[in-house]
Structure 1
């Protein structure tokens, strides 16, 4: 998903200056008390250590794990001040780690209109979109952008994108911008096009496309990939107050899902500064991993003006540098080696394969420069042609400056072929699979986008297991909701919305899926010494589930998060405003 460009940092600093004299207290989040000692017992503690050990009890001292074992051994450590946590037979795991997402994107509902189709929302037609937009006109003035998000053309009855004329029918004067569910495209109305300087003679930006009417040559309103940069920065220039509202909503959703480490996978400087400040103000309970975008930060990264060490804290890390090589399969912008199975109705080129956002030589130069500077890299590649480009770029970088233990990340890796996985293994490239595609778009991948052969192989997790590769799974939220149950269940069942199983040979076990969401996600971000498993010396980031996630597919899909601890502090208890404690 594209970054949301906001003047967050400057706005927050201005707020702090204006309120002054202690008046900034309302900006601060709350931090629960940290018990000196707490014991967890009478449960199934799924440690995710190298042996997948399961024990019944664990001791935590000052936010770190100090012992694991039997109930008798651990309870013997209690004194009068110890906080006792009776697990009552439930399952305790390491806190879930968002391996790739766009926090606080799931909080967009606080600032925009949700246009999602079932099963997420209720939009099934362009008329539904227009109805919701008209209702939103009551908020704001004629100069304020009306912003909607989450629409999916492939799920609309018209089977097409809205046009600027469809949006002009809502308002010809107020600018309107809709962000596609993939985050790789959007639609703008005529008023918005004027503000963005888009006319009949506006050239396509590199790595992007202004879709035009085949007869008149006029822009249809649909913008692909880098073309969205002409509109998104001004349409989504939210205020600091809006940004904090998004953070609060997103953090609440992630806690309820058991996520203790969130990720913002592709940020510009305003977003990086804003997230870091919000974390320091304790408005974000979770740990945050941010990936600065190479496109907008490259020169500052190379000349040292952007020093990632300045963004290090106990709960914040700016780690991998993100490069976006292609788009999304369901948006027809992923770059494939073979044509799309069924082309879009208005696509005249039947050999259309999507397109890259870089030329190979340009990608090689940028990757090599960052790689040789010592940066950790994360490269978005959905189509197999884009994955070929990523592999070639990493190979060229390694030839220029050999490094060890680089853990380069291939984000999404939707159509990775067996030969590509072999090359990735050699080059120390670790995939992060958007496995929930099997549910949300699996039927369409099979029948429309990729065909039955390629469609059945999306997110080839079993192939990665067979090669003993570290890999992670993610939801790319807000592309789909932060639904850990659906993520794990999709990994194990690969069931589509129609009930079919897409590529049964690529299913993995529940334990493998859980590792991809915990210890392997920590490893992929060089955090495995601190989080990701429950072992002596590690930070007590914990999630308590109401049932055993290893008990079967139904348990994976339907477990509920009862409690969440981050650094030993209890931040969430289901059905309560705050966590309760029991003392010896």
Structure 2
């Protein structure tokens, strides 16, 4: 008995001396929420633990007993999901000559902005701006040369429409560009005229005829505005995006760059480039979204001289596809290339940009050099031409690094659904789509003007390509507008601003829409093992929404805002 008592006492003493099982140390825990992991099963959890840049665990409230975090955030029932990955976006930093034309609700407001800017800059200085849209104006019409002349007669003015497929210029700007009533339409573009035969100021697609005369700001002037723009999209929940505006013009001559004498004309001071981004991200990477760069096709010789190809880089900056070189125009022109006439415009089907031979040469050259392809094709005629070029190249040129089924080539936009034979080719050759469901919402007026009922119902389709043909689709915005929540709304409702539903059978589920704006974008850049879902080992790129996108009224999604954005576990935006 005495021996037993001694043994029990010894065990009690030993137990008292043994510390409780230590918790694993992490940097961040978010809990008491709805955590949409977007894994294969679309699992829903309530908590997540992060250490450094990466996710350690997801689970229930028991994570608080397993981990000890330097920072704990109570979500209080809000929703946590992966950061949005926008597969097609154009940075638009504010230049010194810009007015905030995208914010104007009437032509009168635009004119007020022009008067103020003209007074600030003085006579003769260029005034510019991006993002006007006639449907946003109370007048419900395009800006005209006369509108601009009335407000700024002594300054050349060019304002680019949202979508970048048309622009309007005033008389002073047209005079500098030597555009008058006798000027022929440029290749792949249109100069609009008034009833008297004079240019009305609107130039579709080829407004470079005027833009080339606009003095470019220096990179020293534009470096900080680019950083400001990059930070601005974090407020929209975008943690990664594909920059569809990049060239290699500023690379060293002999390594893909343009000739020094052409630097100013070919590469404006406002643009973010591969080289400029590397310089910014050397010190700001932790505070900015991740970027995959499209590279505009520079011609065979310069592309051969460029020492890198698709996939080069790291998880902050990497090279993506050759693109978005435009095979046709767009509906903001409108010059998208269709297989049938535009509604109410007999004989007009838009315009293609390349002959079959020219397009095939570009695709084949990029293919031989190991590049992914992501070309702009909006109209069904342009899609047919692009897919035929892709298929021919994929069938004849092998990539030792990737089998045909894993080349991850894609089309940008895919606005007008092509014939089923073309979609069958896409499916058989694993050609994907970078789709913009938000176009349906933002461009409803334009679509209703120019598209017949069938094309209107299936514009910017997702369900038919994905469900009937198994075509992989990632979502993006192309700046119309940038906010991903508009894209989610349009994808699940197929509604325009009027409230009309266009092609209800093209709507997709909420889970599918969320996956298309997160995990699918990561797959497109071959980063599915790194980001796009909230799973252990992946980058902690996350956003917090004050509503549940799986259950909220669609109007709540449309009008919603992001509460918090994290990149690599770091809080980079808080509303």
Pair 1:99-2:79 in alignment: no
Query: How far apart are the structure 1 equivalents of 2:337 and 2:310?
Result: 34
Please provide the CA RMSD for this pair. Answer: 2.7
Q: Which portions of structure 1, spanning 4 or more consecutive aligned residues, are displaced by more than 6 angstroms?
A: none
Pair 1:254-2:233 in alignment: yes
Aligned residue pairs, count: 518
Tell me the CA shift for residue 97 of structure 1.
Answer: 0.8
Per the alignment, residue 373 of structure 1 pairs with 369
Per the alignment, residue 346 of structure 1 pairs with none
Tell me the CA shift for residue 137 of structure 1.
Answer: 0.8
Contact 2:291 2:317 in 1 (8 A): yes
Question: Relative to 1, partners in 2 of residues 1:335 and 1:215: Cα closer, same or farther, differing over 3 Å?
Answer: same
Compute the TM-score of the two structures, normalised by the length of structure 2.
0.83
Contact 2:166 2:332 in 1 (8 A): no
Contact 1:95 1:258 in 2 (8 A): yes
After superposition, give the CA deviation of every residue in 1:202-234 in whole Å (9 maximum; x if it has no partner): 665443344456866x65433222x22233244
Contact 2:310 2:371 in 1 (8 A): no
Equivalence map 1:75-474=2 (5 Å): 75-79=64-68, 82-103=70-91, 105=92, 107-108=93-94, 112-116=98-102, 121-123=104-106, 125=107, 127-153=108-134, 161-198=142-179, 204-211=185-192, 219-225=199-205, 227-235=206-214, 237-240=216-219, 242-268=221-247, 269=249, 270=267, 271=271, 272=273, 273-282=275-284, 285-294=288-297, 297-299=298-300, 301-305=302-306, 307-308=308-309, 312-322=313-323, 323-343=325-345, 350-403=346-399, 404=404, 405-417=406-418, 419=420, 420-446=422-448, 448-466=449-467, 467-474=469-476
Equivalence map 1:506-521=2 (5 Å): 506-521=506-521
Query: How far apart are the structure 1 equivalents of 2:97 and 2:281?
Result: 20
Tell me the CA shift for residue 502 of structure 1.
Answer: 0.9
Query: How far apart are the structure 1 equivalents of 2:569 and 2:353?
Result: 43
Compute the TM-score of the two structures, normalised by the length of structure 1.
0.82
Question: Relative to 1, partners in 2 of residues 1:205 and 1:505: Cα closer, same or farther, differing over 3 Å?
Answer: same
After superposition, give the CA deviation of every residue in 1:36-58 in whole Å (9 maximum; x if it has no partner): 53223222211111111112222
Query: How far apart are the structure 1 equivalents of 2:98 and 2:428?
Result: 44
Moved more, 205-214 or 391-400: 205-214
Tell me the CA shift for residue 175 of structure 1.
Answer: 1.4
Tell me the CA shift for residue 469 of structure 1.
Answer: 2.6
After superposition, give the CA deviation of every residue in 1:327-368 in whole Å (9 maximum; x if it has no partner): 11242210011011123xxxxxx2101101212221111111
Question: Relative to 1, partners in 2 of residues 1:277 and 1:208: Cα closer, same or farther, differing over 3 Å?
Answer: farther
Query: How far apart are the structure 2 equivalents of 1:369 and 1:174?
Result: 44
Contact 2:104 2:137 in 1 (8 A): no
Tell me the CA shift for residue 291 of structure 1.
Answer: 1.0
Contact 1:97 1:261 in 2 (8 A): yes
Alignment partner of 1:139: what SS? helix
Contact 1:207 1:358 in 2 (8 A): no
Contact 1:46 1:91 in 2 (8 A): yes
2:49 to 59, 68, 75: 59
Pair 1:47-2:37 in alignment: yes
Moved more, 358-367 or 273-282: 273-282
Tell me the CA shift for residue 236 of structure 1.
Answer: 6.6
Gaps (5+ residues) in structure 2? 1-24, 250-266
Per the alignment, residue 21 of structure 2 pairs with none
Question: Relative to 1, partners in 2 of residues 1:300 and 1:158: Cα closer, same or farther, differing over 3 Å?
Answer: farther
Contact 1:544 1:561 in 2 (8 A): yes
Higher relative contact order (CA 8 A, sep 6+): 1
Alignment partner of 1:235: what SS? coil
Question: Relative to 1, partners in 2 of residues 1:465 and 1:236: Cα closer, same or farther, differing over 3 Å?
Answer: farther
Tell me the CA shift for residue 391 of structure 1.
Answer: 0.8
Moved more, 47-56 or 154-163: 154-163
After superposition, give the CA deviation of every residue in 1:48-89 in whole Å (9 maximum; x if it has no partner): 1111111222222221112222321x223324x632232222
Per the alignment, residue 534 of structure 1 pairs with 534
Moved more, 253-262 or 194-203: 194-203
Contact 2:426 2:471 in 1 (8 A): no
Query: How far apart are the structure 2 equivalents of 1:241 and 1:414?
Result: 38
Question: Relative to 1, partners in 2 of residues 1:428 and 1:86: Cα closer, same or farther, differing over 3 Å?
Answer: same
After superposition, give the CA deviation of every residue in 1:88-132 in whole Å (9 maximum; x if it has no partner): 2221111111111102x2x4487522334xxx6412x4x553343
Query: How far apart are the structure 2 equivalents of 1:313 and 1:300?
Result: 26
Query: How far apart are the structure 2 equivalents of 1:236 and 1:538?
Result: 44
Which of the two has higher C-alpha Rg? 2
